[in-house]
C-alpha cells in the first residue's frame, strides 16, 4: 500500500466495511474487521514502502476472496469502478486491481 488512507477507503468500499471501524495504527497498519481470516493493510515500510514509489505491486493474485454470487460480485465491482484485470474465467473466478496495482482474485464458493 502506498497510500494507507486511500487503500483503506477502497478496501472498505469493496468489502462493505464501515471505514470508521478501521483504525490506522502507527501510520502504516490498518486491520480490517472480518469474519474468518483477517486482512491487514500495510504500507510495508521495511520492505520498500519507504522508497520513492513505495513497495512494489504484487503481480499475481496474493489471495482470493470467496463469493456465493460471482456475477453479482463482478457487477458490484464494475459499479464501484474497480479496475478489472479479467472478466469471469471458467465460470469460477475473476481478477481486479486495488489502487496500488495489487491483483486480487474473486472466486465462486
52-69 pLDDT, tens digit each: 777 777 788 988 999 999
Number of domains the chain is built from:
2
Residues 31 and 70 in one domain: no
Supply the DSSP symbol for 46: G
Domain-ending residue, one of 40, 56, 72? 56
Question: Which range marks the domain in which residue 84 is found?
Answer: 57-109
CATH of residue 75's domain is: 3.10.180.10
20-79 pLDDT, tens digit each: 999 999 989 999 988 877 888 887 777 777 777 777 777 889 889 999 999 999 999 999
Residues 15 and 45 in one domain: yes
Residue environment code for 14-50, b if the CB has 16+ CB neighbours within 10 A, otherwise e: beebeeeebeeeeebbbebeeeeeeeebbbbeeeebe
Amino acid at each position: 500500500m502506498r497510500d494507507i488512507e486511500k487503500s483503506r477507503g477502497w478496501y472498505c468500499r469493496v468489502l462493505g466495511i464501515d471505514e470508521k471501524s478501521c483504525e490506522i495504527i502507527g501510520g502504516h497498519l490498518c486491520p480490517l474487521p472480518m469474519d474468518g481470516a483477517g486482512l491487514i493493510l500495510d504500507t510495508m515500510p521495511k520492505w520498500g514502502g519507504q522508497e520513492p514509489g513505495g513497495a512494489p505491486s504484487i503481480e499475481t493474485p496474493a489471495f482470493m476472496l470467496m463469493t456465493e454470487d460471482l456475477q453479482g460480485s463482478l457487477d458490484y465491482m464494475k459499479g464501484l469502478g474497480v479496475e478489472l484485470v479479467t472478466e469471469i474465467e471458467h465460470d469460477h473466478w475473476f481478477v481486479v486491481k486495488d489502487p496500488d496495482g495489487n491483483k486480487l482474485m474473486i472466486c465462486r464458493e
